[in-house]
Structure 1
Amino acid sequence: MAIQPDRIDQSGLELAAMLKHLRKQAGLSGARLAARCNMSQSKVSRIEGNRVRPSLVDVEQILKGLGTSPPVAAEVLALARITQTEWQDRRALHRKGLDKKQLELAGIEASTTDFRYFLLSMTTGLLATPEYIRESISDTPPAQQAKAVRMKLERQAVLLDRSKKFAFILTEQAVRYPLASPGAMAMQIDLLISISRQENIRVGVLPRDVKFSSTPLSTFTVYDERLATIETDLGAAVFRGSKDIRSLLERFSSYEAYAAFGSDARELLTHWAGTFRQ
């Protein structure tokens, strides 16, 4: 799943222009199309003006109202799927402030029941000690750091909600990357061991010598079956399209088949923590 930020930004304009072109080609006014789609004329106008992001259902209704041929409809829907993706530039997020991002994540977590995390290179803040969190945001302006650490730690309370289910898969690299001092890393891994014993949380690890994928890897999170994010060093892509989310769920399931869970995972984690203590 390639992420092209420029393509994401451009897709909304392309979709709006294409829908407007198809309406004019069909000889329909905005009002007539709106009536056929059981949609307000103002909504049709906002969609065609790229002032609102249409859902896939909106686009399907419009294409049906226009009587668009199957090949053209497939092309438009493929473009509509891209518009369901949002790019969050890492530098822009830093300028906006980490506290805003933490509030956004807390809101998503509050409304989510089933979480799936694949962690490629680092541990997520939900599973992190204060020292690990501080090191992970060391490039953040000092004025923001204390507040960001506090907010990340406060978000960990969501793990105690037994109505929610969590599945974390970490590569050995994510567990053992020496972000902090050896002693702090040992304590960080101890925390993973402790969390893995909680009944609503599954922690799996993928040892370095296990070949579990032949495709490029990225850190990603799936929230229920309604939202997913993929993170890179440049930023994060947010997906809302059902096809993209299903693809990530399938990928997560394939990784689960190779990961060690339960006592097997704790045995590996205990060994890795011991190497830091040595």
Structure 2
Amino acid sequence: MSIRLDRGAVFEPSELGRRRDDLATALRELRRASGLTGDRLAARSGISQSKISKIETGKVLPSAVDVERILRALNASPDMIEEITSLTRLANTQFQDWRSTLRRGLRHRQRELAAIEADSTELRYFLPTMITGLLHTPEYARASLAGNPGDLTQAIAKRLERQAVLYDRSKSFTFVLTEAAVRWPLCPADVMAVQLGRLASLAVLPNIRLGVIPVAQPHLPEGPLSTFTVYDSRLATAEVFAGAIIMRDPRDIAYHRELFSLFVSYARFGDEAIALLTQWAEEFRHGS
């Protein structure tokens, strides 16, 4: 299975997350070939010598900006710049396969998500197929995890605990859901009606923008391929059946922010969103 991060890049999951050492080696060899010491490179690039050393030994993963400064200081050729920039992108992309997540336990996954949310200020969620965990009722959360092995009690409890972050007014959340995600009948109709009621109630919080894209909307953009989340301008994640792709390269983050803005432009927010959610909840209640 190949993974497309944007229109110009297709990566194999086996490549993702293993390129850190390759990048460290490439930068170290390039510095040596230039005849510069670590101290000289640090002075030229404006990066501390200790950080240069940690980058070259793989202890620190350099950002795209770090690599650009190092390549400029080394007077790297255009071909070398292209090669190492591509390697940097791979090194800053990780594939977290679902089987490994299950082996570690879903409660640990909930703790990881809580840590990312705690460190973020602006959070953007595009949800084309299902409602995300931060918005779940307990019954919907239980149904969403029901197909996974083991005792799910702790995972459900941790997921519900995470929801406290929604009431932190220092953070802003934007959720964009398609009508398909909202109306996907994961639970019995009465439970779905309660879940949609929760969405409508959260939509009135001042730090939350919750929008829905109805299928009746004319001229919708290209089909939504996957769920993705953007945390500030530092991290983007995308979900596929086999796992999650974690992206730290600024180009990938910028691409997903632009894509999110596109879907936002087609979404209904505020009173319009609440009216649609209320209508759909009533349809679940009355079996329409």
TM-score, scaled to structure 1? 0.90
Aligned-residue offset at 1:190: 1.0
Q: Where does 1:148-163 land on structure 2 (aligned, <5 Å)?
A: 148-163=155-170
2:153 alignment partner, one of 146, 151, 158: 146
Distance in structure 1 (CA, Å) of the matches to 2:88 and 2:172:
31
Which amino acid is 1:18 matched to? A
Distance in structure 1 (CA, Å) of the matches to 2:228 and 2:238:
4
Aligned-residue offset at 1:161: 1.6
1:103 alignment partner, one of 97, 111, 130: 111
Q: What residue in structure 1 maps to residue 249 of structure 2?
A: 241
Which amino acid is 1:208 matched to? V
TM-score, scaled to structure 2? 0.87
SS at match of 2:212: strand
2:70 alignment partner, one of 32, 48, 62: 62
Q: What residue in structure 1 maps to residue 171 of structure 2?
A: 164
Distance in structure 1 (CA, Å) of the matches to 2:225 and 2:11:
12
Which amino acid is 1:180 matched to? C
Distance in structure 2 (CA, Å) of the matches to 1:259 and 1:200:
17
Distance in structure 2 (CA, Å) of the matches to 1:242 and 1:83:
12
Distance in structure 2 (CA, Å) of the matches to 1:242 and 1:40:
22
Distance in structure 2 (CA, Å) of the matches to 1:93 and 1:229:
15
Quick check: which one's helix share is greater?
1
SS at match of 2:15: helix
Q: What residue in structure 1 maps to residue 97 of structure 2?
A: 89
Task: Please list the CA deviations of residues 220-262 of structure 1 after superposition, one character each: whole Å capped at 9, or x if unmatched.
Answer: 1111222211111111111222221111111111111111111
Q: What residue in structure 1 maps to residue 3 of structure 2?
A: none
Aligned-residue offset at 1:36: 4.0
**Conserved in 2, the CA contact under 8 Å of 1:186 and 1:276?**
yes
**Conserved in 2, the CA contact under 8 Å of 1:222 and 1:228?**
yes
Residue correspondences, number:
277
1:227 alignment partner, one of 217, 220, 235: 235
2:184 alignment partner, one of 152, 177, 181: 177
Task: Please list the CA deviations of residues 2-60 of structure 1 after superposition, one character each: whole Å capped at 9, or x if unmatched.
Answer: 55322323433432333233223323445554454455666545433434322223312
Task: Please list the CA deviations of residues 89-126 of structure 1 after superposition, one character each: whole Å capped at 9, or x if unmatched.
Answer: 11111111122121222122222221111001110111
**Conserved in 2, the CA contact under 8 Å of 1:3 and 1:237?**
no
Aligned pair 1:196/2:203, yes or no?
Answer: yes
Aligned pair 1:187/2:187, yes or no?
Answer: no
Distance in structure 2 (CA, Å) of the matches to 1:224 and 1:69:
33
SS at match of 1:142: coil
**Conserved in 2, the CA contact under 8 Å of 1:130 and 1:153?**
yes
Which amino acid is 1:182 matched to? A
SS at match of 1:68: coil
Aligned-residue offset at 1:213: 2.3
RMSD over aligned Cα atoms: 2.2
Distance verdict in 2 for CA 1:40–1:201, change over 3 Å: closer
Aligned pair 1:114/2:138, yes or no?
Answer: no
Aligned pair 1:207/2:196, yes or no?
Answer: no
Task: Please list the CA deviations of residues 175-222 of structure 1 after superposition, one character each: whole Å capped at 9, or x if unmatched.
Answer: 111111111111111111111122221111112243432265211111
SS at match of 2:19: helix
Distance in structure 2 (CA, Å) of the matches to 1:139 and 1:18:
44
Worse-superposed segment, 44-53 or 204-213:
44-53
1:125 alignment partner, one of 116, 133, 144: 133
Q: Which runs of 5+ in 1 are unaligned?
A: none
